[in-house]
């Protein structure tokens, strides 16, 4: 009977050893997969950063009218946002973890929304147009009426633009939080 007990102990020991080896193998392959995911996420983030730097430098270029943007500045900036979104759409996230790819999509959609608001900016009159409007308002007995209306329209638009910019920033933070969980940042 002692032979049977020894054989039983050897079988249990072998089973425990096999479980430990299997657990180590699973952990090894999981870590390899996690590092592969981090590598793919870093590649996406790097491409996005390059496009973002181009957008930032292009937006920084503008004509100056007493520190206020001109109609052309806003039209050009809206086009720059379109270009950025078009480039970001080309970034392939299919091999990234699903939660990161979905966060990246939300980030891209937030920038697309911001681009749409940029295109919807109110008309910005030139100095000559403002002067003509002021003269007309004065002749009609309500000096500054058109300027007040334009200012209110611009303030409403700017509030929407800032909301969309805040949403894009929030989406970026959410995307980076997921990237951090994968060890990509």
pLDDT score of 50 more than 50: yes
pTM for this model (two decimals): 0.71
Per-residue pLDDT reduced to its tens digit, 110-169: 999 999 999 999 887 666 656 666 666 566 666 667 778 888 888 999 999 999 999 999
CA nearest 161: which of 102, 65, 77, 49? 77
Q: pLDDT: is 5 or 57 the higher one?
A: 57
Residue 64: per-residue pLDDT: 54
62-84 mean pLDDT: 81
Position with higher pLDDT, 41 vs 20: 41
Domain boundaries, the chain: 2-181
Residue 69 DSSP one-character state: P
Residues 60, 56: Cα–Cα separation, whole Å = 6
Average pLDDT, the chain: 81
Annotate 32-87 with DSSP letters as a single string. Answer: HHHHHHHHHHHHHHHHHHHHHHHHHHHHH----BTTBPPHHHHHHHHHHHHHHHHH
Q: What is the pLDDT of residue 26?
A: 46
Give the pLDDT confidence score for residue 136 in this predicted structure.
Answer: 64
Helix (H, G, I), strand (E, B) or coil at 152: helix
Rounded to an integer, the average pLDDT of 5-25 is 59
């Amino acid at each position: 009977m002692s032979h049977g007990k020894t054989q039983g102990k050897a079988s249990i020991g072998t089973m425990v050893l096999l479980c430990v080896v299997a657990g180590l193998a699973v952990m090894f392959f999981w870590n390899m997969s996690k590092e592969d995911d981090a590598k793919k996420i870093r590649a996406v983030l790097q491409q996005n950063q390059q496009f973002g730097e181009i957008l930032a430098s292009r937006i920084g270029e503008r004509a100056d009218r007493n520190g206020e943007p001109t109609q052309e500045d806003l039209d050009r900036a809206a086009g720059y946002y379109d270009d950025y979104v078009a480039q970001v759409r080309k970034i392939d996230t299919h091999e990234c973890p699903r939660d990161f790819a979905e966060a990246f999509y939300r980030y891209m959609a937030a920038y697309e929304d911001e681009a749409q608001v940029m295109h919807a900016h109110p008309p910005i009159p030139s100095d000559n147009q403002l002067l003509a409007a002021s003269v007309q308002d004065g002749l009609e007995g309500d000096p500054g009426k058109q300027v007040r209306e334009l200012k209110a329209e611009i303030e409403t638009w700017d509030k929407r633009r800032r909301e969309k910019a805040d949403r894009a920033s929030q989406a970026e933070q959410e995307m980076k939080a997921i990237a951090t969980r994968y060890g990509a940042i």
